[in-house]
Amino acid sequence: MALSSHKPRKVPGGLAALFLSLIAVVLLSVWSYEGGSAPGSSGILHNLRSATSLLTTPLDHLASFIGAPGKAVGNALTNLSASSESLLELQNQNDELVATVARLEEYRLENERLSKLLELADAYSLEAVGARILKPASDSWNQSLTISKGASDGIAVGMPVMSPNGLIGQVEQTGPFTSVVRLLTDLDSGVAVFLQANRSEGVVSGSVEGLLYLRYISLDVNVVPGDVVVTSGAGGVYPKGIVVGEVTSASYAPSDVYQTVVVKPLARVSRYEEILVLTGRQTEVIPKQEAATNDLEADEGHQSGETTEDAKAAETETTGVAETTTAPAATGVSFAAKAFARASAFAQRAVASPVPPVAVAARMNG
């Protein structure tokens, strides 16, 4: 007996899809009939949804708790993989910020230094030009520096150069836009000064050691360490009253004629980046307030002199008037005396002579 093979028939895929679509339509219809997603909706599908959510919520929390470490590790790995570009960009931004802060700090410090120079010029009413130091002194044998202002800025050879603390030197050479300043500490430098305490005059000159020596101070002058040395104005090169330095020591040998006085300059060029060139012809450096006081005293003295002269002139005028008034009075008295004498003579003649009185009077008048 021959066996026949029977193959089951397959359900076409289109029928399964149609079946599922019908179920979905039915469920959506029921869901809409129960109120859909509106608040307070209830029904079979809504209750089934709530029960399912109640059962699956703990499982969701458990899965989130278990997966948190893995998620953190994944984020870390992602950051590490992106750090090569991100960190490079952040590093560049940080470098730019650091450079900006450094520039701003440099501007602030420069502004402070320039403000001190301007305050110095204003306090002493100085005609001056500020300049930057382009090239400092190179060695002990050539104590000079180059500044950023020249002849085009009004700088000329011989002009004094100073800092907020005192005198630095003198302009030795000028170019159109730069100048060379010979420092006080140079061997060829010299400036007329005096000791502020006792007004003893001398000359300060430089040395290889960078110190200043005050020369021509006689042995009988009392020089004490700490005495301030200022310019005397002698010679007309430097204005009077600029601080040069202070005495550190004073000594002499029995055979010496003058003392050996060592002076420490107060203006250390190595500490400055800007200096002040005195362009005016000021003969003395004094504070503006003191100058105003001196001018006021001079004006008061001038007014007092004018008042004295006016008083003398008034006195002279009064005396002249008095003399003028007295002169007519004296003349009147003399005239009265003469008239009285003539009247007496007329009376005597009238008594002694037979001639009529009219004739006597005629004779007298004649």
Tokens of 71: 């998620």
What is the rounded average pLDDT of the residues 147-160? 94
DSSP letter for each residue of 137-180: --BTTB-EEEES--GGGT--TT-EEEETTEEEEEEEEE-SS-EE
pLDDT digits (tens, 9 = 90+) for 38-83: 666 666 766 676 667 666 777 666 677 676 776 776 666 666 655 6
pLDDT digits (tens, 9 = 90+) for 321-355: 444 444 444 444 344 444 445 544 444 444 344 43
Residue 193 above 80 pLDDT? yes
What is the chain's alpha carbon radius of gyration, rounded to the nearest angstrom?
Answer: 57
**What is the pLDDT, as a whole number, of residue 269?**
79
Residue type, position 316, single letter: T
Helices (H) and strands (E) in the chain, counts: 4, 12
3-state SS class at 199: coil
Q: Measuring CA to CA, which residue among 269, 41, 288, 23 is closest to residue 143?
A: 269
Higher model confidence: residue 139 or residue 208? 208
Confidence band (pLDDT; 50, 70, 90) for 182?
very high
> Helix, strand, coil proportions of the chain in percent (round to 5)?
50, 20, 30
Higher model confidence: residue 89 or residue 70? 89
What is the enclosing helix (H) or strand (E) of 190? Answer: strand 190-195
**What is the pLDDT, as a whole number, of residue 354?**
40
**What is the pLDDT, as a whole number, of residue 330?**
41
**What is the pLDDT, as a whole number, of residue 280?**
86
**What is the pLDDT, as a whole number, of residue 38?**
63
3-state SS class at 229: strand
DSSP letter for each residue of 112-140: HHHHHHHHHHHHTT--EEEEEEEE---BT
Tokens of 263: 């002076």
Contact 214, 203 (CB under 8 A): yes
Question: What is the spatial distance between Cα 230 and Cα 197, in angstroms, rounded to a whole number?
Answer: 10
From residue 51, how far is each of 54, 55, 101, 303, 318 by CA, in Å? 5, 6, 64, 113, 132
**Burial code of 292-322, b = ≥16 C-beta within 10 A, e = fewer?**
eeeeeeeeeeeeeeeeeeeeeeeeeeeeeee
Mean residue pLDDT of the chain comes to 75
DSSP bridge partners of 146: 135, 180
Instruction: Identify which of 133-142, 198-207, 298-307 has the greatest average pLDDT.
Output: 198-207
Confidence band (pLDDT; 50, 70, 90) for 142?
confident
Residue 87 above 60 pLDDT? yes
Number of residues assigned to the chain: 366
Higher model confidence: residue 103 or residue 293? 103
Report residue 86: phi and psi, to 5°. Answer: -65, -45
Question: What is the spatial distance between Cα 91 and Cα 87, in angstroms, rounded to a whole number?
Answer: 6
Residue 97 above 80 pLDDT? yes
Residue type, position 226, single letter: G
From residue 44, how far is each of 25, 30, 33, 59 by CA, in Å? 16, 9, 11, 24
Instruction: Identify which of 2-11, 46-55, 200-209 has the greatest average pLDDT.
Output: 200-209
Confidence band (pLDDT; 50, 70, 90) for 119?
confident
Question: What is the spatial distance between Cα 317 and Cα 294, in angstroms, rounded to a whole number?
Answer: 35
Residue type, position 117, single letter: L
